[in-house]
Every structure is written in structure tokens, then in C-alpha cells.
Amino acid sequence: MAPDSGASGPRRASGPRTLTLKAGTSWSEAWRRCLAVAPEAFRDDRVLNLWQAGWRADGRPLPATSPVDGSPIAGAPRLDRDTARQAVRASLDQHRAWRHVPLDERRARVAATLDALAEHRELLALLLVWEIGKPWRLAQADVDRAVDGVRWYVDGIEPMIAGRVPLEGPVSNIASWNYPMSVLVHALLVQALAGNAVVAKTPTDGGVACLTLACALAAREGVPVTLVSGGGGELSEALVRAPEIGCVSFVGGRDTGAAVATAVADLGKRHILEQEGLNTWGIWNHSDWDALTAVVPKLFDYGKQRCTAYPRFVVQRELFDAFLAAYLPAVRTLRVGHPLAVDRPDDPFPALDFGPVINAAKAKELTDQVAEAVDRGAIPLHRGNPADARFLPGQDTSAYVQPVTLLNPPPSSPLHHAEPFGPVDTIVLVDTEAELLAAMNASNGALVATLATDDRATYDRLAPQIRAFKVGHGKPRSRGDRDELFGGFGASWRGAFVGGELLVRAVTQGPADERLPGNFPDHHLMP
């Protein structure tokens, strides 16, 4: 559903509704639970910053609203650059002490943190629902993947760290808002387990309360974590360029990532920069349409606000009718709405594919891009019906976008070459294998791709020419867990690859002549 573009205010659900908020899930109830669980980190109506091993009421809290219904929630307390520099210097002091803590003690403290995160799993998940709009199932999965993933490292860290030492300075983490637990908190705890103090910047667009609670639980166990908030421009000098920082870990878009990449290259600093790419799903000499119908709804999880989402289908022209026969019935089954709206207060959480996008501004951007693409020649094949969405009576729906599918977005449209990061699919038709490969490589590198073809020999011949780190054969690929490696080709990744042992290697020092697997300015090395 698109937001109003005029001055009439936020768009609101209308008509008779019977839905209500699930009992015990309001933002005010979640906030009261945060105050009770971690009173050191939450104060009245604001969260605090964590640095120099203490919670501080510094920084200017910005107003924030939930994408779920536009209601007020806690905003990030933005630090100025001088305070951020002090926080980084204090983190270096923590790092110098922590790197000498025996591994068994580090492991015990991280394991205790995981136990605490598991104990408060439901509260962490509820915060994710309100702050970034995740449906309940996906919010719980984000917490579980963080806990289970770090446990794998706790259980098997010895061989990964044998012959290696921590970095000379703390690891600085700047990550997008979409996976606060399974990406950011996961990375923080593995970095600390490997012997590093860690610094994290709360994402500008959401997740501050969830991250604050997670970091409070870690800090209680003596894990050396620093959590600060602020604008990227204000804090980049401290979090990227400061000489105290031993490694920069970044997850986000290409524009911001390019600036970070330039800075770390100039400084010769260890870095892990995961950036966006247009992940594509190719269809060539394919006949298993039942498999495609089954997977399409899963590809819309969290409204495609994932770095491994597939927003582009590249389809052999002579198969287009069969593709549509398989695709359209599947996309029409998508369930969209308020993640906490139920028929009766004690009902289970609703089973949704996605709720809102991250904010009303993003919803408007997507809606405008779709309208512009259609105006310039794209053909709309599917638009979700707002009347089918599940909303509370009168709620603000400005951040909701119904699923849209467009055929042949024009080259002038951002939807032609960039990841929309929302529930918008585009389809490009091709006639030759060369066209297929060119269309699948439209963004100069991607994190994942899939080629659906009946012939294994065709897959084996074409897959190596697809510029994605992971390529599936008729099945989606993901970032992965535990021992699965992850990285990217082209502009989708800069620096060290991660996943499994590589994540530990990326944040530790080995032999002096070591060349880490990754995509660096002076070399590209596959694992």
C-alpha cells in the first residue's frame, strides 16, 4: 500500500475491521519489560549509550516511530563526533585488557551471554517487530540464529584460533537495520570470543532498543562491548578512520560502503564490507514449475528486505507463459499486514509473509519508482490488493507496500539495475545464453544467484560465469550459518570473506605473510 504523497497526513486503514492487538504485545508493555530486565541501559523514555564500560545518558535522542503503525517508539541518542572519539579510545583500553583474557574465560562469558539472550528471546523478538516491522516468526528466527550461530563458535573455537592472536585494536561494526541479532550481535560476540573488544553503531533506521538490550546482557557478563548512536557522517571519523580501530565491519548499501571502502583502503585497515547487489534468478530450459510455485512465497520473506533476496527473474522468452502460470498463483497467496493484529487477543501471532517496509519514506520511494517505471514502459503483471491486508481499525499504514511485479523495467529506472530492498519483483526476458548471463550480471557482482535449468551440464557450464558468490541450482541460496562461507563478487563485497573459520580469521592475526580470502584492492582470493 502506498502512502499519500500529499499533505493530508498518513494513510490509514478504513472500513469495518474485527482485528485487535495481540494481548501483551504493545510497545508500552515491551518498554516496561526492558526497564525491568536492564534498568542500567533504559531510562524512562530513552535508551542510553554504552562506552567506557558504563551506560551514559549522553547524545541527543531523536524522535522515532514504528513502521508497524506510525506510533512513537524510542529513538537513538545521537552522539557528537568528539564523544564518539572518546568512546573509541576507551574501547582500545578494553581491547588491550581483553586480548590477554584466557580463551576459556572468554568462552564462558560469551556462553553466559547466549544463555541470557535465550532467556529473553521473546522480548528481543517483540522489539524487532515494533522497531523494524518483522513478523513474529522471522523476528524469533533472527534471535535464534544469533544464539545458535555463536554457540557453534563457542563449541569449536580452539582449532579456528590456533596460531592466531587478536587484532591490535577493537573491531568497529556498522550494520544495516534489517538483521540486528543474526548479523550484528552474532558478529559482535564472535569477534569478542576471538579476543577483540567490539564497537557497534546502532542503525539509523531502527533496532536501537533490541541492540541495547542485547548489549546490556553481554556487558553484564563482562564482554567488552561499546554501543553508540549517531549519524554516519558524524561518527565515521571515529568508527572508520580512528587509528585505534583494528578492523571495520560494514553491512549496507553501495553508496555508503564505497565511502567506507575508500577510507579503509587509504589507511590500509583490515575490513569486511558487505554491500548490496542485484541477486537474480535465471530460468533457462526449465520445466519443474511446481518447485518454482512453492518457493516464490518464501522469496518474499520480510518483504525482500534482505541482502540475499531475489528481486529479479531473468526468464527465457519461450518459457514466459509457463513461468507466469507458476509464478502468479504463488504471488497471489502472499499475506501482508500488521505483525501483531489478531482476531482475538489470545490468538496465536498471525502467519504473515511480511509487514511494513522500514519506514514511510521507503514505502513512498518504492511506490514512486514503480509508478515511474510503468510510466516509462514497464508492464505491471501483478499488484497486491490492499483490501486483502490485515490491519487494525484506523491504523497508520504509510509504511506498507503491497507486492508488485513488473515486466521489463526501463534502463532509466533504478529498478532495472539496483536492488529495490522491498516487495518489488522485476522480470527480464532473454533469448540467448549470452543475454541470460548479461542480465544476471547487471549489477557488477551479487551475493547470491540461482539458475533453474533441467540440464545439469548447462548449469555447470553457465554457473561459473554468474558473478555471485553463491549460485544455486534451482534453489535459493542464503547468507548461511555456522560453517558456511559468505562473501561477494564485484562491487557487492570488499575485504575479507566471512562465515565459519573465515569469520575468525578475518578478525585475528596469523602469519606475517598471510593473505586472507576476500576481495581486496590488491588481490582477490577465493577460499
CA distance 514 to 204: 36
The larger pLDDT score, comparing residue 396 to residue 257, is at 396
Nearest by Cα to 366 from 337, 410, 336, 401: 401
- Residue whose C-alpha cell is 550459518: 481
The domains spanning 78-275 and 280-473 adopt the same CATH topology: no
* Average pLDDT, rounded, for the chain: 94
Please report, rounded to a whole number, the percentage of residues in the chain having pLDDT higher than 70. Answer: 97
CATH topology of domain 78-275: Aldehyde Dehydrogenase; Chain A, domain 1 (3.40.605)
Nearest by Cα to 282 from 431, 405, 453, 416: 453
Tens digits of residue pLDDT in 165-177: 999 999 999 999 9
Model confidence at 49, in pLDDT bands (50, 70, 90)? very high
Does 4 have pLDDT greater than 60? no
pTM reported for the whole predicted model: 0.94
Give 69-90 as a 3 state SS string.
CCCEECCCEECCHHHHHHHHHH
- Whether the Cβ atoms of residue 133 and residue 67 lie closer than 8 Å to each other: yes
Does 8 have pLDDT greater than 50? no
Q: DSSP readout, 475-499?
A: S------TT--B--SGGGEEEE-BS
Domain coordinates in residue numbering, the chain: 78-275, 280-473
CA distance 293 to 365: 29
User: What pLDDT is stored for residue 433 in this prediction?
Assistant: 98
Model confidence at 14, in pLDDT bands (50, 70, 90)? low
User: What pLDDT is stored for residue 290 in this prediction?
Assistant: 98
Strand order in the sheet with 468-473: 379-383, 404-407, 424-430, 312-316, 280-283, 446-452, 468-473
User: What pLDDT is stored for residue 2 in this prediction?
Assistant: 36
3-state secondary structure of 353: coil
User: What pLDDT is stored for residue 381 in this prediction?
Assistant: 98
Backbone dihedral angles phi then psi of residue 352, each to the nearest 5 degrees: -115, 150
Tens digits of residue pLDDT in 272-291: 999 888 999 999 999 999 99
Does 470 have pLDDT greater than 60? yes
CA distance 133 to 130: 6
User: What pLDDT is stored for residue 184 in this prediction?
Assistant: 96
CA distance 414 to 427: 14
Given CATH 3.90.1330.10, say whether it is the number of domain 280-473: no
Q: What is the rounded average pLDDT of the residues 505-524?
A: 92
User: What pLDDT is stored for residue 3 in this prediction?
Assistant: 37
Amino acid at 244: E
